[in-house]
Amino acid sequence: MNMDTLALVDKVFGSKILLYILLIAALIYPFASPLGIPVSISSRTMQVYNYVKSLKPGCYVYMEIYYEVAARGELEPNVVALVKQLFDKDCKIVFVSLIGTGPIVFSLLRSTAADLFNTKKYGVDYVYLGYVSGQEAAAASLAKSIKGTVSVDNYGNRIETLPLLREVDKATDFSLAIIASSGTDTFNWYVRQWYTPYNVSLLFVALSVIAPSVEPFVGAKQAIGMLVGQRSAAEYELLVGRKGLGLASMDSQSLTHALILVFIAAGNVVYWGKRLRTKKK
C-alpha cells in the first residue's frame, strides 16, 4: 500500500462530502428495496416479554411517555408493541408525561397505533393525564396519589368523571410501571420515587445511547428489564406479531452500521499506513 493510494483513501474518506453522501445512500436504499436480513431475538427481550405475559389479565399498568418528536423512531415502536401485548390481555393503562412534548408525541402514538386504540374505550380501558410539570417532585406526588396531583386529564375531563381513575390512584395499585424516556434522569426519578419507596416493578424503554448508563439499575434489580432502541422493537414486534417501524428499520440500521465499520477500518488503515511509512524512512 504505497503512499499515494493512502493519500487517495485519506482524500476520499477525509472529505466530509463523500462520507455523508455514502451514509445517506446506505440509510435510504433499504426503504426503496428491503434486504430482509433475519432478526434473532435476544434473551433480554424474551425475558421482558415473558414477564409482561405473566401479568394477570385485566391488570393495571402505568406508562410514562417522556420523549420528544426526535426520539420517536427508537422509542415509539417499543411502546406500540407493549400496548398491543397489554391490550390483548385486557390490561388497563394510565399514560402520563412529565415532559412538555408529551401531548404531541402521545397524539402521534395514537395515530400510529390507531388500530389498537380504536378497539378500546377512553376513560375505561386507558387514560392520558397529559403534561404534569415538576419533574421528580411530580413523579413523587403521582406515586402518593394521582387525584392529589392532577385535577384534569390531557383533554380537560375532570378526573372524577373517568371510571379507570376510580379504580387506581397510588403507585402500589399498578402491577407494572413502564418508563419510556429519551433521557436518563427520568429513570432515576422513578427508581427514587416509585421503586425505592413503594417497590413498584419498573420496565424501562430507552434509547440505545442511554442504555449503558441505565444498565446498573437493571443489574441492581431496580427494574425488571429494559427494551433498547429499534433492535428490541424489531424483536418485540416479531413476538407480539405486529410489523412496525422496528422491523422496517433493521435493514437500514444494518447497512449503515456496516458502512461505519468501513469508515473505522479506512481510518485505521490510513493511520497505520502513514505511521509505518514514516517509521521506515
Partner 1 sequence: MSLIVKRVIPQLIVSIILIVMIVFYFFYVNKSVAGVFSAWDKALSDWAIIIMAFALMVGGADIFRYHLIQIRKAGMKQAPFSIVTILLELVMIAFALIGFYISYINPESGISITTQPQFAWLYTNVYAPSDTAVYSILLFYIASASYRAFTAKNPTAALLLAVAVIVMLGNTSLGGLIWPGMLSLRDWIMTVPNTAAFRPITMGAGFGAITLGLRLLIWREVSWLGRRE
Partner 2 sequence: MRITKDIFILITIILSIILISIVAWVSKIQLYNPTRPLSSFIVLLFLLIAGYLSIHRVKMGGTFSVRDIAAFNAIEEGIARSVEMGRPIHMTIGYGSISSSMAPQYIAGLGILSHVARMAGKYGAKLITTLGVPEVIASVEELVREGYASAGKPELFDPVYNVRYLTDQQFAYASAVQATIVRENVGANIVVGPFYAESLIFMEAGNMVGAFQVAGTARETQIPFFVLVADYSFIGEEIFAAGAMASGDKESLAAIRGQDAGKLLSIALILLGILMLITGYSLTDLLNWVWKFG
Partner 3 sequence: MVSWELFGAWIGAFLIIWIYSFAFKDNVLYKLAEHIFVGTAAGYSVALALDSLNRVAIKSLLAQPAASWHYLIPVILGVLMFLKYSRRYYWVARYGIALNVAIGTALAVRTIPMANIVRQLQAAIVPLWGSDPLKVFNNWLTFLITMGGLTYFLFTIFPKKPETGKVSATYTVYKVLYLIGVYGMMIGFGALFANTIMTRVGFVISVYLIYLQPYMEATVIAVILATIAILIEIRRRSRSKCMTLRRMS
DSSP conformational letter for 210: T
Q: How far apart are alpha carbons 132 and 271 in whole angstroms?
A: 52
What's the angle, vertex CA 105, arms to CA 90 and CA 179, rounded to 5? 55
Find the shortest distance in angstroms from Cβ 78 to partner 2: 19
Task: Show the binding pattern over residues 208-227: x = contacts partner 2 (CB under 8 A), - = does not.
Answer: -xx-xx--------------
Task: State which amino acid sits at residue 141.
Answer: S
Decide: is 136 part of the binding site for partner 2 (CB under 8 A): yes
* Assigned C-alpha cell, 97: 408525561
Decide: is 267 part of the binding site for partner 2 (CB under 8 A): no
With beta carbons less than 8 A apart as the criterion, state whether 133 and 97 touch: no
CA 155 to chain centre: 25
Choose one: 38-46, 121-129, 162-170, 172-180; the region binding partner 1 (CB under 8 A).
Answer: 38-46
Task: Show the binding pattern over residues 9-48: x = contacts partner 3 (CB under 8 A), - = does not.
Answer: -------xx--x------xx--x-----------------
Helix (H) or strand (E) holding 147: helix 146-149
Q: Which residue has the cell 463523500?
A: 18
Residue of 185, 146, 153, 172 whose CA lies nearest to 66:
185
Decide: is 141 part of the binding site for partner 3 (CB under 8 A): no
Q: How far apart are alpha carbons 106 and 87 in whole angstroms?
A: 17
Decide: is 134 part of the binding site for partner 1 (CB under 8 A): yes
CA 262 to chain centre: 28
Decide: is 183 part of the binding site for partner 2 (CB under 8 A): yes
Decide: is 197 part of the binding site for partner 1 (CB under 8 A): no
Choose one: 194-202, 229-237, 252-260, 264-272; the region binding partner 2 (CB under 8 A).
Answer: 194-202
Q: How far apart are alpha carbons 71 and 21 in whole angstroms?
A: 23
With beta carbons less than 8 A apart as the criterion, state whether 132 and 138 touch: yes
Find the shortest distance in angstroms from Cβ 87 to partner 3: 23
Site residues (vs partner 1, CB under 8 A):
13-14, 16, 19-20, 23, 37-40, 42-44, 68-71, 100-101, 103-104, 131, 133-134, 137, 141, 155-156, 208, 211-213, 215-216, 219, 229, 231, 250, 253-254, 256-261, 263-264, 266-268, 271-272
Site residues (vs partner 3, CB under 8 A):
16-17, 20, 27-28, 31, 69-74, 100, 133-134, 136, 188, 191-192, 196, 207-213, 216, 219-220, 222, 228-231, 245, 249, 252-253, 256-257, 260
